[in-house]
Amino acid sequence: MNTFEHLRGVYCAAVTPLTSDFRVDTQAIPLLLEFLADRGCNGALLLGTTGEGPSFASYERLAILQAALNYRTSLPGFRILAGTATPSLEETIQLTRTAFELGVDGVVVLPPYYYRKVSDEGLFDWFSQVIRQAVPDGKAFFGYHIPTVTGVPLSIELLGRLKESFPSRFAGLKDSSSDPEQARLLGTVFEEEIMVFSGNDRLFSLALKHHSAGCITALANLCSPDLARVWNAFQQGQDAIQAQARLEAARRIMENYTPFPPFVKAMLSYSYHFPFWPVRPPLSSLPIAAIENGLVEMDKLCES
């Protein structure tokens, strides 16, 4: 049995609540987590791409994690993953170590994303330092493959080497390549040797058929009931065809409003009555006309 089997499931790449002056609203975090748990999420990734993770200082990230973990005691079985990457090796080590000390269930770590033309050897050395110095034995470290954002892909060879070198700490990766061939390849090469979480709702059913451990997606902020339907059906050897179709339609709409955080925060506010949380610069909130268009397009797609 995979050491990290208990982490399988549907995760939301959660937004980060902010006040009107762009400060972290830690008091709103429990409200968001309870909403996600009630709608079928098994856990949340905090401070990922949708959570604007790289926009926050280390002390802000730790305050966000502490607020979430304090409330997590009210949500039995709900898991918290943390984005802890920075371009700085030392700062990433410190953030990752402290996140585990606070009690997160795992970390999801981008490659260092300033120098883009680096070798697998350099990436292996960087990840190895983080894992050796910051990840306790038996705790879950996930790489984060999102080359359209970082410009730094995580190769099959690199993933295999990390798993071989750190079998009780390197758990797998979040695959946000949005590439169906990548989803198939990861499943073919690794089967269930490493855990692969799909980062694209349109590929969720496909990824599950190729040994995916679940999903971590931005759309889970809005459409987690359908993600849970797809996940639960697959566990029973069935297909949730209508739920998957709604996810694909909703994802196509969302992809017209990139980057995702402003769109997701607007939809949460107008459709689910959350405060209208801003995004931190350099991101900008959507114009009202775009919000109205998005609401019309998303209407009835994200069913409860």
Task: Give the domains, in start order, of the chain with CATH numbers.
Answer: 5-298 (3.20.20.70)
CA dist., res. 206 & res. 241, Å (int): 12
pLDDT score at 301? 79
Q: Is 49 a catalytic residue?
A: yes
From the candidates 86, 144, 217, 265, give the one annotated as an active-site residue. Answer: 144
Can you tell me whether residue 63 is helix, strand or coil? helix
Residues of the chain with pLDDT under 70: 1-2, 303-304
Q: What phi-psi label fits residue 9: left (phi over 0), alpha (psi between -120 and 50 degrees) or beta?
A: left
* Whole-prediction pTM: 0.96
Q: Is 174 a catalytic residue?
A: yes
pLDDT in tens, 48-61: 999 999 999 999 99
Query: Are residues 244 and 221 in contact, defined by beta-carbon separation less than 8 angstroms?
Result: no
Q: Is 71 a catalytic residue?
A: no
From the candidates 49, 98, 150, 217, give the one annotated as an active-site residue. Answer: 49
Q: Encoding tokens for residue 213?
A: 């451990």
CA dist., res. 232 & res. 214, Å (int): 10
pLDDT score at 3? 82
Q: Is 144 a catalytic residue?
A: yes
Helical spans, DSSP H, in the chain: 29-38, 58-72, 89-102, 120-134, 147-150, 156-165, 180-190, 204-208, 220-235, 241-254, 260-272, 288-298
CA dist., res. 246 & res. 303, Å (int): 9
